[in-house]
Amino acid sequence: MQIKSSAFADGHPIPRRFTCDGEDLCPPLAWSDAPPGTRSFILICDDPDAPAGTWHHWTAYDIPGDRKGLEEGADLHAGRNGFKQTANDFGRVGYGGPCPPPGHGRHRYRFRLIALAVEHLPLGKNPSRRDVERSAQEHALAEAMLMGLYGR
């Protein structure tokens, strides 16, 4: 399985547009080669270089298994796009773009796509990011990652 973005290449800088210094939109993402039996996906974006430990920028789940990607700003219309989201570490539901502390150097931002063998994760109303990740581990078929860089 592979994940990529038309906005930046793996291991390259994330354009300002997709950060807290820009429009704070989720970047366009596309994926391919999902394994047979994939019924849904989850997408996680985090920053393992944050000063206080990994910072979670986005968790989208129950993305339909027939999807091949998400367009720029898809998080703003998650319901219409057929998926759900949890609160991020900024305290709001949806995507929160890269926003490292000024002068802290470049951080890595991992966009992890996980293919699942279930159409919907068995979760209650308003699950946490941890709930989604825990449940996804039980149903995971494959994982792919795209990593971008951003510093201020």
β partners of residue 16 = none
CATH architecture group of domain 2-141: Alpha-Beta Complex (3.90)
| Average pLDDT of span 26-31 | 98
Distance (Å, whole) CA 61 – CA 111: 13
- Residue-wise pLDDT for 95-115, tens only, equals 999 999 999 999 999 999 999
Query: What confidence score (pLDDT) does residue 26 get?
Result: 97
Q: Which of 81, 82, 85 is nearest to 93 (CA)?
A: 85
Asked if residue 53 lies in contact with residue 61, where contact means CB atoms within 8 angstroms, the answer is no
pTM (predicted TM-score): 0.95
For the record, the structure tokens of 21 come out as 């210094």
Other Cβ atoms less than 10 A from the Cβ of 102: the count is 7
Listed by start position, the domains of the chain span 2-141
Residues in the chain: 152
